[in-house]
């Protein structure tokens, strides 16, 4: 990738490095209570840093950014955020309106008052743990957010490194849309609620995922809308509440609810897991086993069965292979 002279955002006072940095790259290096933020000159006009040198880093990508300087390795010309270093009182906050990649390159980040990573960008976020690196995220007790890793959009976890996450407030990992996992070694060492919680669908293609010591389910998948799309070709625009496992290793222990819970179906066509179908709960069937078409089950959004009559609220209604969310007034 082409190198360009380093541009340091003007709001980040006191940084005078003139080393080379890759095009389309923002580097964030945490060091205790401070962070050094370096921005490549070709994207400097699209990136605003409002945190100064604080370890609570806040970055906003301009709504005008739609990709620049595309390459073979970065075909969409998206911005790549490289995070490294250590802070016991830090955060990475990111907003924007175009997909991006977050590369973890030896990061240990703890936020005692909120999420370690708070991504308010509603597009695709690729989180890549670089090969040979160990990365750790830990949050603090604050229920105004949903995860130690909190993402408004959809997340693709990948890379040949290791990422360890602990959720001391709610979920360890939360994504407002789908989650996909490929190659990564992902460890959830504890969560007050679910270890991993997402909407639309969850897909594990490869890698190793270990989830332990959760106050609710190990992994939960919800519908995002009121009606399931079912499985779509290539999962394009899919909102099914489905769980898919086609490869890799999934170990879930120490959960209070279920190992896996899904608003849709649970499909395990490959890989290995350390729990049985009885440790999974799906509203539309498990491994191709569908429920009785005559059976109707009404549950609240936490999975508790409510019977046929319920108080006003939003409920999940399953009948046969069809699952919908229903508003009761």
CA nearest 241: which of 219, 271, 273?
Answer: 219
In percent, how much of the chain has pLDDT > 90? 75
The first and second tokens of residue 66, run together, are 């739609």
Torsion of CA 161, 184, 35, 39, to 10 degrees: 100
pLDDT at 287 (0 to 100): 56
Which has more confidence, 311 or 71?
Answer: 71
Q: pLDDT category, 177, cuts 50, 70, 90?
A: very high
Q: Which two tokens stand for residue 232?
A: 């779509």
Which tokens is 61 given? 């990508």
Q: Which pair of tokens denotes residue 57?
A: 């880093």
Can you tell me the distance from the alpha carbon of 211 to that of 259, in angstroms, rounded to the nearest whole number? Answer: 9
* pLDDT tens digit sequence for 206-249: 999 999 999 999 999 999 988 899 999 999 999 999 999 999 99
Give the residue-averaged pLDDT of 48-74.
95
Angle at 70 between CA 2 and CA 130, to 5 degrees: 65
State the residue for tokens 């897991």.
273
Q: What are the tens digits of pLDDT across the range 122-132? A: 899 999 999 99
DSSP H stretches of helix in the chain: none
Per the model's pLDDT, the better-predicted residue between 9 and 174 turns out to be 174
Q: Interior CA angle at 265 toward 259 and 271, to 5°?
A: 60
* pLDDT given for residue 144 in this prediction: 78
- Find, among 188, 185, 180, the residue nearest to 208 by Cα: 185
Residue with token string 């959760």: 214
Residue 288's pLDDT is 45
Residue pair 219/181 in contact (Cβ under 8 Å)? The answer is no
Would you state the pLDDT for residue 297? Answer: 61
CB burial string 91-110: b at 16+ within 10 A, e below: bbbbbbebbbbbbbbbbbbb
Band the pLDDT of 312: cuts 50, 70, 90.
low
How many angstroms separate the most distant Cα atoms in the chain? 70
pLDDT higher than threshold 80 for residue 37: yes
pLDDT of residue 165: 98
Stretch 197-211: mean pLDDT: 98
Place of tokens 């909120």: 114
Residue 323: predicted pLDDT: 64
> In the predicted model, what is the mean pLDDT of the chain?
87
What single string gives the DSSP state of each residue in 206-269?
SSEEEEEEESS-SEEEE-SSSB---S-GGGTT----EEEE-SSEEEEEEESS-SEEESS-EEE-
Confidence (pLDDT) at 20: 73
What is the band of 12 on the pLDDT scale with cuts at 50, 70, 90? very low
Give me the percent of the chain exceeding a pLDDT of 70.
80
pLDDT value for 15: 40
Q: What is the number of alpha carbons within 13 Å of residue 96 lying toward its C-beta?
A: 28
Nearest to 156 by CA among 132, 176, 135, 182: 182
pLDDT digits (tens, 9 = 90+) for 248-305: 999 999 999 999 999 999 999 999 999 988 899 988 766 544 334 445 666 666 555 5
What length is written for the chain? 329
pLDDT of residue 13: 37
φ/ψ (deg, to 5) at 45: -75, -10
Instruction: Provide the pLDDT for residue 322.
Output: 59
Q: What is the average pLDDT across 141-145?
A: 77
pLDDT of 314 > 60? The answer is yes
């Amino acid at each position: 990738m082409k190198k360009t002279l380093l541009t340091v955002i003007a709001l980040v006072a006191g940084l005078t490095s003139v080393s080379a940095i890759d095009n389309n790259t923002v580097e964030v290096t945490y060091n205790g209570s401070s962070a050094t933020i370096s921005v490549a000159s070709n994207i400097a006009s699209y990136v605003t840093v409002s945190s100064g040198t604080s370890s609570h880093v806040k970055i906003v990508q301009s709504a005008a950014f739609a990709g620049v300087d595309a390459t073979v390795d970065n075909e969409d010309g998206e911005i790549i955020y490289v995070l490294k270093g250590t802070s016991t009182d830090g955060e990475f906050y990111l907003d924007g309106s175009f997909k991006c990649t977050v590369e973890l390159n030896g990061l240990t980040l703890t936020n005692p008052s909120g999420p370690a990573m708070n991504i308010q960008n509603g597009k695709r976020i690729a989180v890549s743990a670089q090969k040979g690196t160990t990365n750790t995220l830990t949050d603090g007790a604050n229920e105004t957010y949903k995860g130690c890793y909190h993402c408004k959009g959809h997340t693709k976890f990948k890379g040949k490194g290791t990422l360890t996450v602990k959720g001391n407030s709610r979920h360890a990992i939360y994504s407002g849309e789908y989650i996909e996992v490929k190659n990564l070694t992902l460890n959830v060492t504890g969560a007050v609620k679910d270890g991993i919680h997402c909407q639309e669908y969850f897909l594990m293609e490869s890698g190793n995922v270990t989830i332990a010591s959760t106050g609710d389910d190990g992994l939960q998948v919800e519908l995002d809308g009121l009606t399931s799309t079912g499985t779509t070709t290539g999962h394009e625009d899919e909102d099914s509440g489905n769980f898919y496992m086609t490869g890799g290793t999934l170990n879930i222990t120490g959960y209070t609810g279920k190992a896996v819970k899904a608003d849709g179906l649970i499909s395990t066509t490959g890989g290995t897991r350390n729990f049985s179908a009885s440790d999974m709960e799906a509203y539309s069937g498990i491994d191709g086993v569908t429920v009785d078409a005559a059976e109707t089950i009404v549950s609240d959004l936490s999975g508790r069965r409510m019977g046929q009559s319920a108080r006003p609220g939003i409920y999940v209604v399953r009948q046969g292979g069809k699952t919908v969310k229903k508003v009761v007034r």
